[in-house]
Amino acid sequence: MSVGYRPVLWNANKLWYDGALGLFVGLYLILFLRYAPGLLESPAIGGAELRMRAFGSCAFLMLTLILCIGPLARLDTRFLPLLYNRRHFGVMTFFVATAHLWAVSGWYLAFSPLDPWVALLVSNTDISFLGFPFEWLGMAALAILFAMAATSHDFWLHFLSPPIWKRLHMLVYLCYGLVVMHVSLGLLQSETSPAYPVMVGLSLLVVSGLHMMAARAEAKRDREQAAPPVGGADGDWVKAVRIDALTPDHGHTVTLPNGERAAVFRYGETGERISALSNVCAHQNGPLGEGRMVFGCVTCPWHGFQYDPETGCSPPPFTEKVPTFRVRRDGDFVMIDTKALPAGTRTPPILLSEGGA
Amino acid sequence: MSRRPFFVGYLAMPRALAMFLAVVTGVLLGTGAVVATVTVQEQNDWGDGGFQWGEGRQTRTGIVMADPYPVLFLPPNADHPFGQTLPLSGAGKTGVQTSAREMQGAPVDVSGIILRRDDFEMIQVSGNNGLVAAADPAPLAGWSGPEIEALGRVTLKGELLDSKCFHGAMRPGEGKTHKLCANLCLIGGVPLTFMIRRPDGSVESLLMADQEGQEVTGPLLDHVSQFVELTGELERRGDLLVFKVDPETVRRL
């Protein structure tokens, strides 16, 4: 969390993350270009072409891994640290993809009377399926990677607002699709080894398979956590969760009849207080219900943004706010009014020591 | 309810989670190593053609022909009883049509860098003085280039390529990934060739022309780097085969 905009707020975890990322990219390129059977000036392929393929295939693998992180973290929270600094992963992918373009423009597009950028757009006008200028697809994918990398900083998240920023960054799926087509209409039409279609197919299978598994798991969770409406004169109340099902200092997600999710927390020194707030973190829409209480605050599992459970406000000097829900006790159950209160509205918790609010 | 360690980025990493992530990092590094190795190892062998920089600037004396594309005919000798034909290009992705036309049919000295792929050779003509009137035309006395021998109408299957990358300027210099580069070469004036692959894997390279024997790059540009069938008249000029086609007959396979 930060109240100012610094280029990067380094911490030990980010340094480890970026170090591992750099090691991954470095090892991949070194293996590809130097120590793998195809040497830098391979007898089987030109050196410049080898560099194009090294950067291009590395960027494709990185994009595949990036798209796996989200569903993996949904399926197993131990993968959340990979999500924590995923933006650096994305920015690094953009740089590797740019190196691929650099290698292409310095060779295939070079030495021509035409400007390389003009050449890229006009030298192949065959738009049939097999002859399609697959380079255009790669350029479109790179443009998306650029837009995402350029707006990856929290300044842009605040400037654009989280919903717009999120939509912009969901373009990563379009980017992935463009890259798959770029490879399918390019390399797969040129090389004859079955290893390439198998690897592209595996990438598609893993990415789509993990997303489907995560979606199924989430749908199951929603069904299990669905709160039945009970109505009431003073609001649209639902029977949210049994009190004894709440683990102190752990979040619990409740799916409300309107499809919204609420995050319910039991907290306090003896776990005597219960509050509910929106499940959607104000930062990047992370699932607060999967978070924990840390230093007395609800803490988002994605990037550690924190909120007072009774007000939905981040502790000063931070200014983020999330909506809160009215809660009350009904016997062994926590009841929630499904009408969310405006972000940052203080609402009294259930006090178990008093038998309810 | 999960009792797993909870990760907060700006706090110390729980030990159990650090161990798990160390394993994940190892798996990812291993995945990268496998993908890199398989990707580089499974590439086709794109031949050993290329610039012969080690031979330095070479000069060949022969008869230049400008159309359909600039080539240099060398007279027959013991190694080449039918003579030898070398396609000509300029530096980079350019042709030498202008200077070849100025010297059409004349004895010339062509100097530059040789490109060689197996038995095929071509010359990247160097600078402004790379294609000039022969300093000593005596060895060509009485020879004005090879006779034209009509071989009849044929239908052939193969791939349209720029001759420079066919000779190894780029490797791969064929196939879909090379299409954009090939088009740039051809737009720049590099001779258009038709590569035919025999069942034994060896290749033949034919110089392309339209039915009037003129260059035919424009109408065939969209079919470059594709496996196509073309019909036309085949001619032999020394060791050179010229394929004079009607571009309308092109058919993708």
Whether residue B176 and residue A79 make contact (CB cut-off 8 A), yes or no, is no
Structural contact between residues A38 and B42, judged by C-beta atoms closer than 8 angstroms: no
Tokens of A277: 């707030």
Shared domain for A218 and A249, answered yes or no, is no
Shared domain for B153 and B223, answered yes or no, is yes
The string of pLDDT tens digits covering residues B15-64 is 999 999 999 999 999 999 999 999 988 999 888 899 999 999 999 999 99
Shared domain for A269 and A196, answered yes or no, is no
Q: Which of left, alpha, beta for A344 (phi over 0: left; psi -120 to 50: alpha)?
A: left
SS3 A143: helix
| Closest C-alpha among A196, A191, A349, A159 to residue A272 | A349
What does chain B look like in DSSP terms, one character per residue? ---PPPP-TTSPPPHHHHHHHHHHHHHHHHHHHHHHHHHHHTS----S-EE-GGG-SEEEEEEEE-SSS-EEEEPP-SS-TT-EEEEEE-SSS---HHHHHHTTTSEEEEEEEEEEETTEEEEEE-STTSEEE-S--GGGTT--SPPEEEEEEEEEEEEEEEHHHHTTSSSS-SSGGGHHHHHHHHHHTPPEEEEEE-TTS-EEEEEEEETTSS--HHHHGGGBTSEEEEEEEEEEETTEEEEEE-GGG-EE-
Measured CA to CA, the distance from residue A216 to residue A220 in angstroms comes to 6
What was the pLDDT predicted at B2? 52
Specify if A7 maps to a domain: no
Whether residue A109 and residue B180 make contact (CB cut-off 8 A), yes or no, is yes
Specify if A242 maps to a domain: yes
Asked whether the predicted pLDDT for residue A318 surpasses 80, the reply is yes
Considering only CB atoms, which chain A residues are within 8 Å of B21? 78, 81-82
Mean pLDDT computed over every residue of chain B? 93
Asked whether the predicted pLDDT for residue B69 surpasses 60, the reply is yes
Q: Which residues pair with A325 in a beta bridge?
A: A276
* Mean pLDDT on B91-99: 95
Tokens of B61: 């004396």
Whether residue A13 and residue B9 make contact (CB cut-off 8 A), yes or no, is yes
> Domain ends where: A222, A252, A287?
A222
**Considering chain B, what percentage of its residues have pLDDT values greater than 90?**
82
Specify if B57 maps to a domain: yes
Asked whether the predicted pLDDT for residue B134 surpasses 50, the reply is yes
User: Which structural domain, as residue segments, surrounds residue B228?
Assistant: 148-252
Q: For residue A231, what pLDDT band results from cuts at 50, 70 and 90? A: confident
Specify if A56 maps to a domain: yes
Asked whether the predicted pLDDT for residue B133 surpasses 70, the reply is yes
Asked whether the predicted pLDDT for residue A291 surpasses 80, the reply is yes
Number of domains in chain A: 2
Shared domain for A156 and A200, answered yes or no, is yes
Measured CA to CA, the distance from residue A306 to residue A313 in angstroms comes to 8
Shared domain for A209 and A235, answered yes or no, is no
The string of pLDDT tens digits covering residues A238-258 is 999 999 999 999 999 999 998
Shortest CA distance from A300: residue in chain B: B8
> Domain ends where: B135, B157, B177?
B135
What was the pLDDT predicted at A356? 47
> Domain ends where: B89, B106, B135?
B135
**Considering chain B, what percentage of its residues have pLDDT values greater than 70?**
99
Shared domain for B180 and B119, answered yes or no, is no
Shared domain for A196 and A250, answered yes or no, is no
> Domain ends where: B135, B165, B185?
B135
Shared domain for A216 and A343, answered yes or no, is no
Identity of the residue numbered A96: V
Specify if B96 maps to a domain: yes
What was the pLDDT predicted at A353? 78
> Domain ends where: A171, A198, A222?
A222
Which of B112 and A121 is assigned the larger pLDDT? B112
Specify if B141 maps to a domain: no
What was the pLDDT predicted at B3? 62
Whether residue A191 and residue B11 make contact (CB cut-off 8 A), yes or no, is no
Specify if A68 maps to a domain: yes
What was the pLDDT predicted at A123? 86
Asked whether the predicted pLDDT for residue B124 surpasses 50, the reply is yes
Whether residue A131 and residue B222 make contact (CB cut-off 8 A), yes or no, is yes
Specify if B28 maps to a domain: no
Whether residue A37 and residue B40 make contact (CB cut-off 8 A), yes or no, is yes
Whether residue A27 and residue B50 make contact (CB cut-off 8 A), yes or no, is no
The string of pLDDT tens digits covering residues A156-203 is 988 998 889 999 999 999 999 999 999 999 999 999 999 999 999 999
Specify if A6 maps to a domain: no
Measured CA to CA, the distance from residue A315 to residue A305 in angstroms comes to 10
What was the pLDDT predicted at B147? 94
Measured CA to CA, the distance from residue A14 to residue B152 in angstroms comes to 72
Residue among B9, B41, B188 minimizing CB distance to A84 = B9
Specify if B140 maps to a domain: no
Structural contact between residues B23 and A78, judged by C-beta atoms closer than 8 angstroms: no
Q: What angle do CA A66, A68, A72 make, to 5 degrees?
A: 125
Specify if B158 maps to a domain: yes
Measured CA to CA, the distance from residue A45 to residue B43 in angstroms comes to 8
Measured CA to CA, the distance from residue A26 to residue A22 in angstroms comes to 6
How close does chain A come to B151, measured CA to CA in Å?
32
Whether residue A28 and residue B42 make contact (CB cut-off 8 A), yes or no, is no
Shared domain for B165 and B216, answered yes or no, is yes
What does A274-324 look like in DSSP terms, one character per residue? EEEEESB-TTT--BGGG-EEETTEEE-TTT--EE-TTT-BPPTT---B--E
Specify if A66 maps to a domain: yes
How close does chain A come to B231, measured CA to CA in Å?
21
Asked whether the predicted pLDDT for residue A347 surpasses 90, the reply is yes
What was the pLDDT predicted at B1? 44
User: Which structural domain, as residue segments, surrounds residue A326?
Assistant: 229-354
Considering only CB atoms, which chain A residues are within 8 Å of B48? 43
* Mean pLDDT on B154-176: 93
Shared domain for A233 and A285, answered yes or no, is yes
How close does chain A come to B102, measured CA to CA in Å?
22
Whether residue A45 and residue B171 make contact (CB cut-off 8 A), yes or no, is yes
Q: Which of B2, B7, B31, B48 to mutate to test the interface with A (most CBs of A within 10 A)?
A: B7
- Here the CATH number for the domain that contains residue A273 is 2.102.10.10
Whether residue A131 and residue B28 make contact (CB cut-off 8 A), yes or no, is no
Shared domain for A200 and A109, answered yes or no, is yes
Asked whether the predicted pLDDT for residue A354 surpasses 90, the reply is no
Shared domain for A197 and A263, answered yes or no, is no
Shared domain for A215 and A258, answered yes or no, is no
Measured CA to CA, the distance from residue A109 to residue A123 in angstroms comes to 10
Considering only CB atoms, which chain B residues are within 8 Å of A107? 170, 181
What was the pLDDT predicted at A41? 56
Whether residue A65 and residue B28 make contact (CB cut-off 8 A), yes or no, is yes
Asked whether the predicted pLDDT for residue A24 surpasses 80, the reply is yes
What was the pLDDT predicted at B251? 95
ipTM for the complex shown = 0.89
Shared domain for A21 and A169, answered yes or no, is yes
* Mean pLDDT on B170-188: 92
Asked whether the predicted pLDDT for residue A36 surpasses 60, the reply is no
Cis peptide bond N-terminal to A316, omega within 30: no
Specify if B128 maps to a domain: yes
Shared domain for B76 and B129, answered yes or no, is yes
What was the pLDDT predicted at A34? 73
Q: For residue A130, what pLDDT band results from cuts at 50, 70 and 90? A: confident
How close does chain B come to A240, measured CA to CA in Å?
16
- Locus of tokens 């929106």: A278
Specify if A25 maps to a domain: yes
Asked whether the predicted pLDDT for residue A3 surpasses 60, the reply is no
Alpha carbon distance, N-terminus to C-terminus of chain A: 33
CA atoms within 13 A on the CB side of B50: 17
Structural contact between residues B122 and B164, judged by C-beta atoms closer than 8 angstroms: yes
Shared domain for B155 and B123, answered yes or no, is no
* Mean pLDDT on A273-294: 94
Shared domain for A39 and A183, answered yes or no, is yes
Measured CA to CA, the distance from residue B204 to residue B202 in angstroms comes to 7
Q: Which of residues 53-72 of B touch A (CB under 8 A)?
A: none
- Here the CATH number for the domain that contains residue B229 is 2.40.50
Structural contact between residues A322 and A247, judged by C-beta atoms closer than 8 angstroms: no
What was the pLDDT predicted at A40? 54
Residue among A23, A111, A189 minimizing CB distance to B29 = A23
SS3 A134: helix
